[in-house]
Structure 1
Amino acid sequence: MITDLAVRRRDFALAAAAVVVLTAASTVSLGAAAGAFDHRSNTVAYTTCSSPALSGSVVHVSLVDMRGMGGGMMGGQGRWRSWHAGMMRIVASTASVGVGTVSLRVTNSGVLTHELVVLTLPAGATVGSRAVGADGKVDEAGSVGEVSNTCGAGAGPGLAPGSTGWTTLTLPAGRYELVCNLPGHYAAGMSTELDVG
């Protein structure tokens, strides 16, 4: 004789299995719609290079996107509205450095082009809270530096996947937000704080 508890356990197990199947099916469908299974859209040419010896406090920064972390069911860079908070990130080797000369060695560990812009973080503001414009970018007014030159120093057209760029800045005490300001990347989670003091 089947008890009431056994029936509830069976029904729960069937419901859980249905949720798993439906979740997997919807994930595959979204990936197919975004072109994630099209081998042509997933071919990435990596550019590898290293930086020269850098002066001052050296902060190693990695720019990461979900496709570079083994996930990535979303479309390419031109489909920036598809990216959601938490799907990309910036990881720094330290959260704080001393006042003065600070070098940022930035490696694009993802499969999309990225950049790093250093913005002053106003008192009371939190990382990731800047207003994002209709173009998917934040206001760069007051930028104190940028790394977007593949295998080079300073600003350029963007860091290619696998490449490294760098810059050396003289930073006064304060809070800074490191951001990727390509369309949609900031809203997708590409920001972190660097405190100088």
Structure 2
Amino acid sequence: MTLDHSTIKSGEVTFMVHNDAVTENHEMLLVKLKSAEQSVPVIAAKHRIDEKQLKSLGEVSDLKPGKDGQLTATLDPGAYLLLCNIKGHYEAGMHAKLTVTK
């Protein structure tokens, strides 16, 4: 997962999401972290993040290969995480941190 900017200003933001994969669906989940150092709970048996432990601000789900989606959210200053929570994808590195400033 790549971001074109790792730091942005607070306010309304639209995430334009593209699935570069050839054969796999992906998703992009946006969560607010308590701090930039917050660890994210992975359920080892399911190879997924425990979404109940996080504050989700929305997602683009079931994005088919080569398709686009978007998510608009109003972000306050702080630390955020964008991730794919399809089985094994977070563990494979499909996540990126985002810093929102005033």
Match of 1:116 in 2: 28
Corresponding residue of 1:103: 14
Query: Which residue does the alignment assign to 1:146?
Result: 59
Letter in 1 for 2:34: P
The residue aligned with 1:176 is 80
Q: Which amino acid aligns with 2:58?
A: G
Q: CA deviation at 1:103?
A: 0.4
Greater RCO, CA 8 A, separation 6+ = 2
Which of 74, 79, 91 does residue 2 from structure 2 map onto? 91
**1:106, distance to aligned residue in structure 2 (A):** 0.2
Contact 2:79–2:98, Cα closer than 8 Å, also in 1: yes
Is 1:136 aligned with 2:47? yes
Kindly state the Cα deviation for residue 124 of structure 1 after the two structures are TM-superposed: 5.0
Q: Distance in 1 between matches of 2:95 and 2:50?
A: 14
CA distance in 2, matches of 1:123, 1:131: 14
Distance change >3 Å, CA 174–CA 124, structure 1 → 2: closer
Q: 1:124 to 1:177 in 2, by over 3 A?
A: closer
Following superposition, the deviation at residue 145 of structure 1 comes to: 1.4
Q: Report which of the two structures shows the higher radius of gyration computed on alpha carbons.
A: 1
Q: How many residue pairs are counted as aligned between the two chains?
A: 97
Q: RMSD of aligned C-alpha atoms? A: 1.3
Q: TM-score, normalised by structure 2?
A: 0.88
How far off is 1:184 after superposition?
A: 0.5
2:27 and 2:84 in contact (8 A); partners too? yes
- Give 1:125's match in structure 2, choosing from 31, 34, 37: 37
1:121 deviates by 2.1
Q: In the superposition, relative to structure 1, how do residues 102 and 124 fare at CA in structure 2: closer, same or farther (>3 Å)?
A: closer
Higher strand share: 2
CA distance in 1, matches of 2:9, 2:36: 21
For 2:47 and 2:69, the matched residues in 1 are separated by 23
Q: Which runs of 4+ in 1 moved over 6 A?
A: none
More helix by proportion, 1 or 2? 1
